[in-house]
């Protein structure tokens, strides 16, 4: 019972930290996100070195680096996703995918890990269904994006001359409509691309700890001196 309480408390604490990780970024222009990625990775390295010292320098396991590579690949897409979808929706989509991926790995033992069958399968599947339904509902929310076109700002100039009828429009009336249609297509494409990118990032986040879990399930691949 004690270990379960500790585990739930750790989940709650990690949820707070993971959920607020990008809040400081909202105050600044993050650009394409590469600098943010570098700073976050450097900060994670500092925390890792501190934990390594506290743990009395355990043996380094290169295979565990694969999980860090998965996380870095997913994290490099975070800023572009939030720029298109917003921080709330972006984190919700990749967080939902992260939960589903992690659940599938643990439940069915994917990628060579050991399967862990829950004590209450009905409640387990119900919780998964609620996560999926909630993620789908929030994915239907459209962020307020300013239109790229402003027809009212287009100057419908009129010219006069020998070969032009006085008062004839300089710009064809169909031009603003075509421009609006083109802009709408671009917005839909950008929005859809951001959603699929968030789904891919969620999968990468979901398999971040698979290499470590695989090492725990297969201790024979770990050097004996690492313990």
Q: Where are the domains of the chain?
A: 2-145+174-226
Beta strands in 8-119 (DSSP E): none
**Can you tell me the distance from the alpha carbon of 90 to that of 110, in angstroms, rounded to the nearest whole number?**
26
pLDDT at 26: 75
| Res. 142 pLDDT band, cuts 50 70 90 | low
What is the predicted pLDDT for the residue at 143?
A: 56
Query: CB-side exposure of 46: number of CA atoms within 13 Å?
Result: 6
Judge whether residue 153 has pLDDT over 50: no
Q: Compute the mean pLDDT over every residue in the chain, rounded to the nearest whole number.
A: 78
83-133, pLDDT tens digit by residue? 888 877 888 888 888 888 988 898 888 888 888 888 888 888 888 888 888
Instruction: Quickly state the pLDDT bin for 227 (edges 50, 70, 90).
Output: very low
- One DSSP character per residue, 193-217 reads HHHHHHHHHHHHHHTTTHHHHHHHH
* pLDDT given for residue 139 in this prediction: 63
Q: Which residues, other chains included, contact 63 with Cβ-Cβ below 8 Å and sequence gap of 6+?
A: 211, 214, 215, 221
- What's residue 160's pLDDT? 47
The answer on pLDDT for 183 being more than 50 is: yes
Q: What global pTM score does this model have?
A: 0.71
Residue with tokens 């996560």: 131
Q: How confident is the model at residue 23, as a pLDDT?
A: 78
Neighbours of 131 (CB within 10 A): 17
Residue 165, classed as helix, strand or coil, is coil
Which pLDDT tens digit goes with each residue over 3-51?
888 888 888 888 888 877 777 777 777 777 788 888 888 888 899 899 9
Four-point Cα dihedral 109, 115, 116, 118, nearest 10? 80
Helix (H) or strand (E) holding 159: strand 158-159
pLDDT score, position 184:
78
DSSP state of 158: E
| Res. 146: pLDDT tops 50 | no
Cα distances (Å, whole numbers) of residue 75 to 9, 79, 121, 195, 207:
25, 8, 32, 15, 13
Quick check: helix, strand or coil at residue 168? strand
């Amino acid at each position: 019972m004690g270990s379960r309480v500790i585990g739930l408390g750790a989940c709650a604490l990690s949820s707070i930290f993971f959920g607020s990780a990008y809040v400081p970024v909202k105050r600044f222009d993050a650009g394409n996100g590469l600098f943010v990625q570098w700073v976050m990775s450097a900060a994670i390295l500092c925390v890792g070195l501190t934990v390594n010292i506290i743990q009395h320098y355990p043996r380094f396991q290169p295979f565990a680096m694969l999980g860090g590579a998965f996380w870095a690949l997913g994290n490099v897409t975070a800023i572009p996703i939030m720029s298109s979808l917003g921080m709330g929706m972006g984190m919700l989509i990749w967080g939902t995918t992260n939960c589903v991926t992690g659940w599938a790995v643990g439940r069915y033992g994917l990628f060579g890990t050991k399967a862990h069958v829950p004590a209450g399968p009905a409640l387990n599947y119900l919780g998964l269904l609620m996560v999926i339904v909630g993620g789908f509902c929030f994915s239907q929310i459209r962020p307020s994006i300013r239109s790229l076109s402003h027809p009212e700002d287009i100057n419908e100039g009129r010219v006069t001359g020998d070969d032009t009828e006085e008062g004839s429009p300089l710009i064809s009336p169909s031009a603003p409509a075509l421009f609006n249609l083109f802009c709408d297509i671009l917005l839909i494409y950008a929005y859809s691309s951001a959603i699929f990118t968030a789904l891919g990032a969620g999968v990468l986040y979901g398999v971040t700890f698979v290499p470590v879990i695989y090492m725990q399930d297969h201790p024979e691949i770990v050097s004996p001196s690492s313990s």
